[in-house]
Structure 1
């Protein structure tokens, strides 16, 4: 998959020749709703015998429109992961637009004229709630055909639901904050994954029979809420089952930073410095403050029994 970076104004020499089908979206999570958009777009591209392209943005548009929130700077799928998921959905080409104040100042007709038309789409596909301009304007899918004036077709994909819940990036972020990984994975259509590097911790787990790896994640990665989880950790090409703790290690103090620690079942070895992928499966419980190490170990033994049951080992 080819990624072409664009800074406003569009340099037409960077546009790939030939007609395309163009999917629009930020695609954070590339969840089931996004997947349906891409499935429709891929089918159109195959029908017409052209490439499937996606137009998306390097960071969340909210950075331009309002004061920063967590949702503007942390993502379900940071950039590399988002690109990999788009490629897995059959996208051939990504136009990655640097979302700046100048770009955001385009009115809907200017965006269509200066970007969509010049990218050469036969069909433009997006979800029913996709917008392509400043909040409060008519930059929505209902009006896109009017702005297109017959220069391309418009295909709008309707709302996608899972068990009666609208599938959206915001609902996935809310579920992540609650630690509801089962709902997250249902809305995504795949197991939620994060990437990080193994670093040294305080080694408390080693002293109580539960040695853990400490994983530092990039600052733009949205993590599950505090709790204990069943996970798998990919080291090289091998997936290792484990149980993860996201929390403040409250048994040993009240002001500890939030860390991600994972106890790998039946594993011994030195993983410091390894770049790893964590796949999140279920939430076992919330974080608890125990009276001491013995009570903590008793609970960890119970957690391990549940984890082994989940993995059937």
Structure 2
């Protein structure tokens, strides 16, 4: 997949000079509903022997326009994760547009003329709720008026999981509540976070459950406080783990949220190494124990539950 970063106004030489199928959307999380949109675009492209391009943005438009509190917003997918999933679905060209006021304030007709017709799109594929400006004048319902017969429009309807419409907003709420199993069902894969290993206070080692302390990538959307069964990926290898997100309430009252993973059947020094965590299942909430032994007894139960859950997921 070829990735092209665009800043308005773009130069014609930056654009692939051939007819394309163009898929439109921000695609945060690239969940199952997003995947249906992308797969439809790829299917049409292969059927008509056209390259398939996807347009997305470097940041969420709602942050720019303060519809979302920027200080509380974090993406479900980091750019590299998003690109990897999109590429795996068969997209040929990824256009990442720098979203600023100059681009965001384009009138709908100008957006269509410059960024659809100007990009040689013969077919547009987007979700039913896609907008390219204010919803009352720039929704999928009005797109045919701006198209003026110059390209075909394919609108993909909503997708549901367990009777609920799949959306990034609902997935984010599930993750925040610790309901990662529900989130994963809508994503179509286990929710992933990225980071690297830093030094901790080594208390886990004293308890017989050493942990890797994780510094998460900036703007990472972390699951809610609790204990989870996870897959831990480091140096290209995948290990079972039980992760804790919390404040170490048994031993100290810390104000900063920490992410720690006890990696099962693992004894290597990995300080500074990049890691990925796949959040599989919620085990329990954070509990303040009377002392170390109470915590150790519970960790033994957590390990047993973790192994049972993850053994079922082994390839």
Q: Report the TM range for the smaller structure's normalisation.
A: over 0.9
1:158 matches 2:157: yes
5 Å-filtered alignment, 1:93-172, equals: 93-134=93-134, 136-172=135-171
Residue equivalent to 1:294: 293
> Which consecutive unaligned segments of at least 5 residues does structure 1 have?
none
5 Å-filtered alignment, 1:1-313, equals: 1-66=1-66, 69-70=69-70, 73-134=73-134, 136-312=135-311
DSSP 3-state at the match of 2:37: helix
Q: 1:308 deviation in Å?
A: 1.6
CA contact 2:63–2:70 (8 Å) conserved in 1? no
Q: 1:254 deviation in Å?
A: 2.2
Q: TM-score, normalised by structure 2?
A: 0.96
Q: 2: CA distance between counterparts of 1:177 and 1:3?
A: 31
Q: 2: CA distance between counterparts of 1:42 and 1:312?
A: 35
DSSP 3-state at the match of 2:118: helix
Give the alignment's Cα RMSD to 1 decimal.
1.4
Q: 1:255 deviation in Å?
A: 3.0
CA contact 1:8–1:103 (8 Å) conserved in 2? yes
DSSP 3-state at the match of 2:250: helix
The count of residues paired between Structure 1 and Structure 2 equals: 312
DSSP 3-state at the match of 1:109: helix
DSSP 3-state at the match of 1:137: coil
CA contact 2:245–2:259 (8 Å) conserved in 1? yes
DSSP 3-state at the match of 2:288: coil
Q: 1: CA distance between counterparts of 2:52 and 2:191?
A: 25
> Which consecutive unaligned segments of at least 5 residues does structure 2 have?
none
CA contact 1:61–1:72 (8 Å) conserved in 2? no
